[in-house]
Chains A and B, each alone.
Chain A
């Protein structure tokens, strides 16, 4: 069963901003194991058919978050998405393209830096395990699984239309708002970065390769905004 083979057609978007006026598609046929992923197809194209293809990956197991592309219009991690008989593979939108399937993340990284995600502490680490309830620690660790792959940002309809940084950034802010040692006002930051522009459509949660829910993070921020600005500090025990 796992040795079964298939042949797929991949139409890959090619674009060199220094040479091309606009992107075009190039079609490739790839034969491989039936359980191969989109990344396997892209790698095979590079290795056997198009040595000039620009693409990005590192971990090939859904952890580095650097291989995200759009397949038939849907934002996915190439390494996790099962291949389909016919695929149109494009870079993530709405980011500028460096070449072919690789986007320029300069602005993304600048935004993350601007969020000042290091905890703003009022006192130094005690030099012993810092008190955090197990439940809160679990929640924080789960939220720390965010890959920053930008799949949710790429899929978000509000990002396209409104001044909204995007779901991943809200998730990161919510994460820090739950950190017992962080005293920065993360709600203010979320509002400043467009949190209220979210349509509440939940697409971000549906596409998240790490099974996180940026939509829930946004809902929690909104509740906090409407029903009181008290930071949840229950993670810091009495």
Chain B
């Protein structure tokens, strides 16, 4: 084969991402009548973030008489410190139950306390007992969805990495450039609608909780295609994650161990957190909820202890769990008991000894700006799930990502099917652009000397963790932004790939990820510099207070090599939602 030949095929709806958002989009697009639907998985199809998650699902089922959709909505706005896109948050609260039943219909058996009663608990930041789940955590959700994909005959392409959205001369997305990693060949999928469901950016950070594939590819691709990012300065860090062994560092340690009796009772206390002086440092940050505080406050509190030298030699703090909740912990989360046993030891697994914990990058709160039907400002390009922004605002409730990716995964698929019906690009549209881009991205394969991609990636991950992470400041952000620009100008052109063989060439894949990481890293740093306050998961040491003037959203848009950061009023209008998407839904979000 000629090295940069493109294998071209035509589909109706192309979906990038094999987590729940991508699968739900594919199922919905198929059910809404789309012809050929193809879903791309960057790795093997099971290598996704949903599967790694706790699978906890916030929903108002009527089983807790105190709870309501209004309360769920308000809780999400409060947790998001008022900068959520209210319309999207409302949809989350209102559609979460229907999507839950979809999963049950697909074959998922949620944990129960009675024949028609789900097992319910509380998770991070919530004020109601509203979270359901199952003992398999995120695995069952992904399995039952895969079964539905098969039942519909939807094609899944493993090891297919979306590299860029390709537009025609009118600015409409007409295809996706894809690197088939398993064969080492370029593919071009002409499509009428492209859905970005590639998840978040946790891999941009040295310590993270996500899968290795989550380098923010789709978000960067959407930005390069001209879409705006919203709230991209907001990254959620989970306070309680494993410190060792190295492979598990940063992986979420699960909240029931931390929440103790508070897992079921909003009035109860969570496990105490101690620094190396034995002090309960959380009291300084939240004297009322103490260690039961929200994820943003706790993660920051722990990070500050570590940064100020009051952590453990391994780089964590100590959590003193409540041994009384061991039995319910074992029943609800046996996988975690096993992990604690293997990683830390039996006393820790039995919740009888202090457990070392540290914060870790978990969830990308911002992302591609979408309307109620997941359309971006670029025709033909949609986004859903963690890759999209606005649903959760400045901080996310534990248990809300699962309904988000179901609700907006489905909406993106329905809208994509509609766009595909209306679409109809001439054959060959965008092909030349795709070919040129493929040639450009094949260059590192030919370089004989230079720097290897994993080295650059590590450098960027450290910069992100140190300066665009839990604790930020203007001068350090400026410095980091300069470092990113230098890396782009001076290092990226010198990246070389060791292996010239193209099959499963990890360095080659990473060389492509680097550009995505830099694109989003710059956007995050630039938006962080602009936001001169502290809010939710976002903390500036030089602006440590919440500022009402900043109850606003930042949109980041790329203009050639420049980034435009614009401040927009929060969209608080919750209009009646059209039951079916209109083809050309205008974005009715806030004005400057």
Contacts and interface: CB of A to CB of B under 8 A. Distances in A.
Interface stretch (A49-57, A155-163, A193-201): A49-57
B446 to A, nearest CB: 15
Interface in B66-120: 101-102, 104-119
Contact of B139 (A32, A144, A237): A144
Interface string A139-170: 01110111110000000000000000000000
A58 B212 contact: yes
Given A54-B503, A112-B150, A137 B110 contact: yes
B436 interface: no
B140 interface: yes
Interface in B536-591: none
A105 interface: yes
Interface string A119-137: 1010011011111111011
Interface residues of B, number: 73
A99 B251 CA distance: 28
A57 B47 CA distance: 8
Contacts of B497: 51
Given A40-B246, A47-B454, A142-B136, 5 more contacts: A2-B244, A53-B506, A60-B212, A66-B47, A134-B111
A54 B247 contact: no
28 contacts: A16-B501, A19-B501, A35-B245, A40-B247, A51-B506, A58-B52, A58-B211, A59-B51, A59-B52, A60-B251, A63-B51, A99-B501, A105-B44, A116-B150, A118-B151, A128-B116, A129-B110, A129-B116, A129-B117, A130-B105, A131-B116, A133-B112, A136-B109, A140-B109, A141-B136, A142-B136, A179-B107, A211-B334
Contacts of B504: 54, 98-100, 102
B313 interface: yes
Contact of A61 (B46, B101, B251, B458): B251
B101 A127 contact: yes
B452 interface: yes
Interface residues of A, number: 77
A125 B143 contact: no
B51 A64 contact: yes
A92 interface: no
A203 interface: no
Given A105-B158, A141-B109, A113 B150 contact: yes
Interface string A91-107: 00000001110101110
A145 B313 CA distance: 35
A3 B116 contact: no
Contact of A66 (B43, B251, B458, B498): B43
A132 B113 CA distance: 10
A36 B118 CA distance: 39
Contact of A125 (B43, B48, B101): B101
Interface of A: 2-3, 16, 18-19, 32-33, 35-37, 39-40, 43, 46-47, 50-66, 79-80, 98-100, 102, 104-106, 109, 112-113, 116-119, 121, 124-125, 127-134, 136-138, 140-142, 144-148, 176, 179, 181-182, 210-211, 237
Contacts of A132: 109, 112, 115
Contact of A137 (B106, B112, B213): B112
B45 interface: yes
B152 to A, nearest CB: 9
Contacts of B102: 125
B44 A56 contact: yes
Contacts of B280: none
A72 B212 CA distance: 26
Contacts of B158: 105-106, 109
A64 B507 contact: no
B109 A59 contact: no
Nearest to B331: A138
A51 B454 contact: yes
A98 B454 CA distance: 22
B31 interface: no
A182 B109 CA distance: 12
Contacts of A106: 158
Contacts of B198: none
Interface stretch (B223-231, B335-343, B384-392): B335-343
B283 interface: no
A52 B499 contact: yes
Nearest to A50: B498
Given A54-B503, A80-B342, A118-B147, A179 B245 contact: no
A129 B118 contact: yes
B439 interface: no
